[in-house]
Amino acid sequence: MDSGTWRLFVVLWFAGIVGFLAGLPYALSAAPVSVVGTSGTVVVVTVQAGVVLAVAVLIGVALGPKVGLGAPVVSALLTTERPASAVGRLRNSFATGVTVGAGIFLVDSLFAELIGDGATRVFPPLWQRAFATLYGGLFEELLLRFGFLTLLVWASWKIVRTPEGDPRPEAVGACIVLAAIAFGFAHLPLMAEVTELTPLVVSRTVVLNGVTGIVFGWLYWQQGIEAAMVAHFGADVAVHVVLVTVLASV
C-alpha cells in the first residue's frame, strides 16, 4: 500500500479506537461481566478490540477500492482536496439515521410488554449514552461495514461480476443483508446480560438491528463509509440520547 493508503488506515483506526473507548462506560454500566470477563481487564479488551479493528480497517483500505467502496470524504481531506457536496450528503445521512432510529424505537416499544422491562428499561447516565453514540458510529461501522461488508463484496466480486468488471448489484445487495444480519446477532451478547434470550427477544434484536444495518450498508455502498457512520450516529442520538431520556423520565 502507498503512503496515502497507510495514512487513511491510521486515521480510520484511530477514529475506531476513540469510538470503542467512548462506548466502554455505557457497556460496563449495562453489562460489566460480558465486557471485561470474569478475569479480564479493560486494557486487555481494548487491545483485543484494537487488533480486530486493525484487521477490519486494513481490509477496507486494501480491498475497498477494488470494488468501489471506501472513505471518499476522509481520503479527500488527506489529500487536501475538497470533497464535493460532502457536507450536504452527510447532513442527509444524519437525518436518515435519526428517522430510522426513531422508527425502530417506536416499533420496539410495541413489543416492550412482551419482551419485558429488562430488555428495554436499562438507563445508564446520559453522558454514558451520549458517548456510546460514537461507539456505534465509529467502531461498529468500521468493523461491520468497512471491514466485514467490504470483504463479502470483494469475495462475491471474485466469483461473479458485471461485463464491465464491477460487482453485480444483486450480489452487493445480498452482502449488505448478510452483514446486517451479522450486525443484529452481534447485539445478542449484551442483550443476554440484561434479559433472557427468548425467541422473541432474539428475533426482535436481530430483525430491528438488521433493518438499520441494511440502511447503513446501502449508504456505505452508495456514498462511502462516512455516510454510514453519520447515519449510525444519528440513529443512536435519536434512540439513546433523546428517546431513552424521554422514556426514563416517564
Q: Which amino acid is at 212?
A: T
Residue 122 phi/psi, 5-degree rounding, is -110, 115
Nearest to 72 by CA among 55, 86, 88, 57: 86
- pLDDT for res 194: 67
Condensed to tens digits (0 to 9), the pLDDT of residues 49-72 reads 999 999 999 999 999 999 999 999
- pLDDT for res 38: 46
Residue 121 phi/psi, 5-degree rounding, is -115, 60
DSSP three-state, residue 121? coil
Condensed to tens digits (0 to 9), the pLDDT of residues 111-155 reads 766 655 444 456 788 999 999 999 999 999 999 999 999 999 999
For the chain, how many structural domains are there in total?
1
- pLDDT for res 120: 47
- What is the grid cell recorded at 58? 486494513
CA distance 182 to 170: 19
Full domain range(s) for residue 199: 3-248
- pLDDT for res 63: 97
- pLDDT for res 119: 46
| CA angle, residues 43, 47, 51, in degrees to nearest 5 | 170
pTM assigned to the model: 0.89
Low-confidence ranges of the chain (pLDDT < 70): 30-40, 81-87, 112-122, 193-194, 250
